[in-house]
Structure 1
Amino acid sequence: MKRLVVITVGKTHSGKTTFARKLERVLENSIVMDQDIHAEFINTYYKNLQPIKGPNTLKHAISKLIVDYTKENTDFHLIISNSNRSRKGRMYLLEELFTKSDFIRIFVHFDIPDDVLQARLEQSNRSTNIFRGPYTSFEEVLKRQQAESFNEDVSDPVEGEADYLFVVKEDQDVDYVMNEIVQIANNRLED
């Protein structure tokens, strides 16, 4: 029987992690894979092993290990909490890690207006111990993400990219999307 993989997409402070943790509580037999936790772990205990430039290959290796372990040793649904703003990155997840033959693939795109994100940043007490390289604040991350929006490698997910696509434009959308995902899981059991 196919499991669900729920993949969040969105800019910093759009609600991806909060959504993932809340969904984990209501979606039976599920687990969150959160790359921010892996980044914080590396920065706390293995900072010297981090690549200085380019992709954070150590963080990606830890995340892949956790995903592979979960796939091979459990029957959990997976909730992937990171930005996933690169189409190439999303295609890697869909084609290599979470194939259509094994998973029902769901994107949840957090399309929150930048002014709302900025207001959230101003109220945030979130730890910056996830950063490596030149970033020292989430404001810098948001500015980079805003600039990347004009890059052809960064795109919003579209219908047909995954089996399901839900878009969260405001906080009120979250409960509806979570209920729909739980219903998809329940329908899978009835089939």
Structure 2
Amino acid sequence: MKRLAIITVGKTHSGKTTFAKALEKELVNSVVIDQDNHAEFLHTYYQSLLPKQGSNTIKYAITQAIVNHAVDDTNSHLIICNSNRNRKGRLRQIEYYQKNGFTTILVNFELPDHILKERITNSERSTSILRVASTFDEVLSRQQAETNRNDIIAPTEEEADHLFVIKTSDEVMSVIRKIVDIA
């Protein structure tokens, strides 16, 4: 069986989680691995273990343990639902999945910032998952500023086996159908 590793890329509130959940319903034998869930778990049960500054290494360790289990002990397709905007980290993930026999798919969300701001304004999402920022507006501002860094670049076709770009919400179901066809 050909296994897929679908990796989402995009700013906050671009639709990564909504897409991942919709894809999970359509793609038989798939699982969503979402770091926001791991952040919420840590915030709820292990807040004292969260680093005061720097990288959230415990969150990344939990995510990696779940990924390793899914890769080694299941035959599931994986839907990796994080921002994945750092090219170096993204390439490391892709290499890992390809070494383990997965077909890799990047789904890049390129919605305009004014739509993201509108979504943030209307969002009922808990800010409890945030560690560095106190609002999603702050997260978006940071992500907008990061856009000029060399390591924060949009995915290219040569990074993965397949690349899909979503620029409007209307494209979501079409991309989901194409991924299901690949499987």
TM-score w.r.t. structure 2 length? 0.98
Q: Distance in 2 between matches of 1:163 and 1:99?
A: 9
Q: Any gaps of 5 or more consecutive residues in structure 2? A: none
Q: Distance in 2 between matches of 1:100 and 1:157?
A: 19
Judge conservation of contact 2:109–2:167 (CA < 8 Å) in 1: yes
Please name the residue that 1:32 is paired with: 32
Q: Distance in 1 between matches of 2:100 and 2:120?
A: 39
Q: Distance in 2 between matches of 1:40 and 1:57?
A: 14
Q: How far off its partner does 1:2 sit?
A: 3.1
Please name the residue that 1:148 is paired with: 146
**1:98-133 CA distances to partner (integer Å, 9 max, x unpaired)?**
125510000000000001101111100100010113
Q: Distance in 2 between matches of 1:36 and 1:172?
A: 24
Q: Secondary structure, in 3 states, of the residue corresponding to 2:52?
A: coil
Q: Distance in 2 between matches of 1:39 and 1:102?
A: 28
Number of residue pairs the alignment of both structures matches: 183
Q: Distance in 2 between matches of 1:173 and 1:158?
A: 19
Q: Secondary structure, in 3 states, of the residue corresponding to 1:150?
A: coil
**1:126-181 CA distances to partner (integer Å, 9 max, x unpaired)?**
00010113x11000000000000001110000111100000000001001100000
Please name the residue that 1:22 is paired with: 22
| Pairing of 1:1-191 with structure 2 (within 5 A) | 1-95=1-95, 97-100=96-99, 102-133=101-132, 135-185=133-183
Q: Distance in 2 between matches of 1:151 and 1:50?
A: 26
Q: Distance in 1 between matches of 2:112 and 2:142?
A: 15
Q: Distance in 2 between matches of 1:128 and 1:43?
A: 10
Identity among equivalent pairs (%): 54
Q: Any gaps of 5 or more consecutive residues in structure 1? A: 186-191
TM-score w.r.t. structure 1 length? 0.94
